[in-house]
Structure 1
Amino acid sequence: MTINASSQEKLLIIGCGDIGQRLALQLASHHYRITGLRRHPPEDLPYLQYRVCDATQTGQLDALLGSEAFDVIVISMTPAERSDAGYEQAYVQTCRNLVAGLKRHQQQPRLVLFVSSTAVYGQNDGSWVDESSPTQPESFSGNRLLEAEQVIQANGFAHSCIRFSGIYGPGRNRLIEQVKQQRASASPHYTNRIHADDCAGVLAHLIELQHKQDLAPVYLATDSSPTPMVEVVNWIAEQLGIRDFLASDAVNERGNKRISNQRLLATGYSFRYPDFRAGYASLINLQA
């Protein structure tokens, strides 16, 4: 079906890195004209036009919003450094700049999606966590992400915050490399994961779904199989044919909780990789 240019919606992806590119690709056949913002963008893709913009700088984002209005805005930032200041700038300041620019130019997008993280939860007792669970982060990253969420939530735009669990996929092969380097952890703590393709799939699904119904203010996005870390790395090692892969001094991941994706599943989303086995099998096959 050919979409008339006048019927296209304008989609803005602020911080358009790997997840943003995957999202643009998944929406390429839909009725969107997609703009991605990066400080140092690559060449344009057939389905994605880049603009040079540092969204953490008020003037740059304001100038863009003053020149063009967008129907859907996705905020998917990556901090310049893993520090409290880096997270404050990437997430909190970007959200403040966006809200200020939208108000200044009297724009009302139909949807604002903020890519957040399950780091906003501090539970570490192996319990189940859902959207109603208390958010008491123990890390600066969780605190800053929660602060950024609150900036979006407090300003009257139709919105949803998507809290992703640990993202893996092409270019995110840390566990596979740890197994190969015999540096994997024997931690019994639960780990929660989502493939990068499903990250993009969830965002695309919710963008389309909002045409039909209001979205919840928060969704937890994770696959359907919270699993102890030692089981995950043991399975990876079996697939690679590696016998000795654990390190007694390996650093365990923070937290120990099981993330529920029931609210997301209730919207009709179907995972491409419903558990770590399906996702990591695809990565291992890519490397074979």
Structure 2
Amino acid sequence: MNKQSPTEKLLIVGCGDIGQRLARQINPLGYQVTGLRRQLVTDLPYLHYRQCDVTNAEQLHPLLAEGFDVIVISMTPAERSDEGYEKAYVNSCKQLITGLQQQPYKPRLIMFVSSTAVYSQQDGSWVDETSPTNPDGFSGKRLLEAEDIILNSDYPGSILRCSGIYGPGRHRLIEQAINQRASASPHYTNRIHAEDCAAALVHLIERAKQRPLDAIYVATDSNPAPMIEVVSWIAEQLGIHQFVAADAINERGNKRISNQRLLDTGLQLRYPDFKTGYADLLASYLPPK
């Protein structure tokens, strides 16, 4: 679709923080970006918002009729429950595919932003796109269900499984250290800066113009690390000596996630480890030099 057009139309379904970052980063490449949200917010210079409940066919299908070259699904559940995840991910994907089947055009790419919650490994082993997915929680199960809807559709699709996203507005570990609620767990944790998450989407959307994408990519930084190492470093930068709590809840799982497939596509991470990523965030907590 629109092969002769210099401007491609990108639709971001569930356009929150990651969607805004994606829109900002991809704007210089000549995309016309539309973002769907449940509640309408003010447009940005690089992003036009439309109010839409994507699980509602009467609202979604007329919007799809406008025609889009690329569709990115980046939903946030209204509540952390099985019902919330089913509605946000499974029902949204079902309505999207049903709506597209009623249109005369075919998008060149559908990308679904998923999560490494689909992996349940607990032994500190390395995990990648080929590893077994046997989630024991509702979140991973519903995400896998949504992934299958996209990958089994008649449209070119790819899944981006993101590890723990952090960045501006996502300071949970910093706040835990400050409030002496950090975990001293030796279990490995995995994370990706929000800017790198968006950059991975841009990179894959552009790459798909030249060659088919793999079905699944994992977006995570290059340095899985034990939780105690991460929070200890954060506390050290802040000059905090007491930062852990004996009853603090540990991160789910214990695995080291590999980003090699994504790096092999040529993506260069701006924040390849937690130290480079958290250094920028910590600046707002430190007194000016």
Identify the TM-score tier after normalising by the shorter chain.
Answer: over 0.9
* Residue of structure 2 in register with 1:130 after alignment: 128
CA distance in 1, matches of 2:207, 2:99: 26
- The amino acid that maps onto 1:273 is Y
* Residue of structure 2 in register with 1:159 after alignment: 157
* Residue of structure 1 in register with 2:178 after alignment: 180
How far the C-alpha of 1:6 sits from its partner, in A, is 4.5
CA distance in 2, matches of 1:36, 1:249: 41
* Residue of structure 2 in register with 1:215 after alignment: 213
* Residue of structure 2 in register with 1:84 after alignment: 82
Root-mean-square deviation (CA, aligned residues, Å) is 1.0
How far the C-alpha of 1:226 sits from its partner, in A, is 0.3
5 Å matches for 1:178-257?
Answer: 178-257=176-255
- Tell whether 2:47 aligns with 1:51: no
5 Å matches for 1:112-131?
Answer: 112-131=110-129
* Residue of structure 2 in register with 1:261 after alignment: 259
Contact 2:85–2:142 under 8 Å retained in 1: yes
Q: Give TM-score scaled by structure 1 length.
A: 0.97
* Residue of structure 2 in register with 1:32 after alignment: 31
How far the C-alpha of 1:119 sits from its partner, in A, is 0.3
- Tell whether 2:268 aligns with 1:270: yes
CA distance in 2, matches of 1:208, 1:41: 28
CA distance in 2, matches of 1:274, 1:186: 23
| Matched position secondary structure for 1:269 | coil
- The amino acid that maps onto 2:122 is N
* Residue of structure 1 in register with 2:41 after alignment: 42
Which of residues 132, 139, 142 is equivalent to 1:141?
A: 139
Q: Give TM-score scaled by structure 2 length.
A: 0.96
CA distance in 2, matches of 1:27, 1:287: 30
Contact 2:238–2:285 under 8 Å retained in 1: no
- The amino acid that maps onto 1:283 is L
CA distance in 2, matches of 1:41, 1:267: 36
The runs of at least 4 aligned residues of structure 1 exceeding 2 Å deviation read none
| Matched position secondary structure for 2:29 | coil
CA distance in 2, matches of 1:187, 1:152: 36
CA distance in 1, matches of 2:133, 2:86: 18
* Residue of structure 2 in register with 1:280 after alignment: 278
How far the C-alpha of 1:58 sits from its partner, in A, is 2.0
CA distance in 2, matches of 1:287, 1:200: 25
- The amino acid that maps onto 2:199 is G
| Matched position secondary structure for 2:100 | helix
How far the C-alpha of 1:156 sits from its partner, in A, is 1.9
Task: List gaps (5 residues or longer) in structure 2.
Answer: none
| Matched position secondary structure for 2:249 | coil
Which of residues 94, 97, 118 is equivalent to 2:95?
A: 97
- The amino acid that maps onto 1:132 is T
- The amino acid that maps onto 2:279 is A
Q: Deviation string for 1:237-288 (max 9, x for gaps)?
A: 0000000001001011110000000000000000000000000001001343
CA distance in 2, matches of 1:287, 1:108: 48
Q: Deviation string for 1:23-59 (max 9, x for gaps)?
A: 0000111111000000112111111000010112222
- The amino acid that maps onto 2:101 is K
| Matched position secondary structure for 1:27 | helix
- The amino acid that maps onto 1:26 is Q
| Matched position secondary structure for 2:9 | strand
* Residue of structure 1 in register with 2:6 after alignment: 7
CA distance in 1, matches of 2:146, 2:175: 32
How far the C-alpha of 1:163 sits from its partner, in A, is 0.1
Task: List gaps (5 residues or longer) in structure 1.
Answer: none
Contact 2:111–2:160 under 8 Å retained in 1: yes
